[in-house]
Amino acid sequence: MKKTIGILSVFLIFWGCATTKSDTSINSKRMLDDMVTHKSFKIESEWAYPQVTNALSSILNAGLLPLGSSVNSISLIGNSNFVKIKGDSITGYLPYFGERQMGGGYASVNTGIQFDDIPKNYEVKKGKKNSYLISFSIPDKTNLTESYTVNIELFPNLTSAISVNSTHRFFIRYQGNVSKIDDE
């Protein structure tokens, strides 16, 4: 009898832990569905993945990248960055690591990717395993000749992957977390 009670207790403990995990994943999936449906969320990236070039390798060799970074993965922890989707408007600032192919000017203070506008070709698709794929085109906030094609993938565990193609710069990707926008 004691052996049966012991086995039953162990089974109930494991079953309780499994229920908690699935409840958490169901809650984050619902939260993600709500954020995407209402177009109200913010992404903060923790890593940047630039296209590796000789110039970027030289910067790494000079010791100019943050601690814990390599030439193909740069830590953004402690650096201000965001992509905010609120209604029809999208605002973003992402630090850029890589090569500029044209434009920019010598007096330009802004070296990051900045946008604040209503995007063109905004599209949301349901992805694999309850993820969302969001794509849009948007002009640069400070350099009106530059524009970006942005692809965002949002996952049910509230993580994100962003890829940015620019008319003036090499491709770059970002990885981070998605959250609700705090009431302002």
pLDDT digits (tens, 9 = 90+) for 107-135: 455 678 999 999 999 999 998 989 999 99
The full 3-state SS of the chain, as one line of letters, equals CHHHHHHHHHHHHHHHHHHHHHHHHHHHHHHHHHHHHCCEEEEEEEEEEECCCHHHHHHHHCCCCCCCCECCEEECCCCCCEEEEECCEEEEEECCCCCECCCCCCCCCCCCEEEEECCEEEEEEECHHHCEEEEEEEECCCCCCCEEEEEEEECCCCEEEEEEEECCECCEEEEEEEEECCCC
pLDDT computed for residue 62 by the predictor: 81
- What CATH number should be reported for the domain holding residue 81? 2.40.128.410
Domain extent, residue 74, equals 29-180
| Region 84-100 average pLDDT | 92
User: Does 21 reside within a domain?
Assistant: no
Residue 89 pLDDT more than 90?
yes
User: Does 19 reside within a domain?
Assistant: no
pLDDT digits (tens, 9 = 90+) for 144-154: 788 999 999 99
User: Does 20 reside within a domain?
Assistant: no
User: Does 67 reside within a domain?
Assistant: yes
Number of domains observed in the structure of the chain = 1
User: Does 121 reside within a domain?
Assistant: yes
User: Does 11 reside within a domain?
Assistant: no
Which of the pair, 120 or 141, is modelled with greater confidence? Answer: 120
Residue 30 pLDDT more than 70?
yes
pLDDT computed for residue 172 by the predictor: 96
pLDDT computed for residue 136 by the predictor: 97
pTM of the model: 0.81
User: Does 76 reside within a domain?
Assistant: yes
User: Does 127 reside within a domain?
Assistant: yes
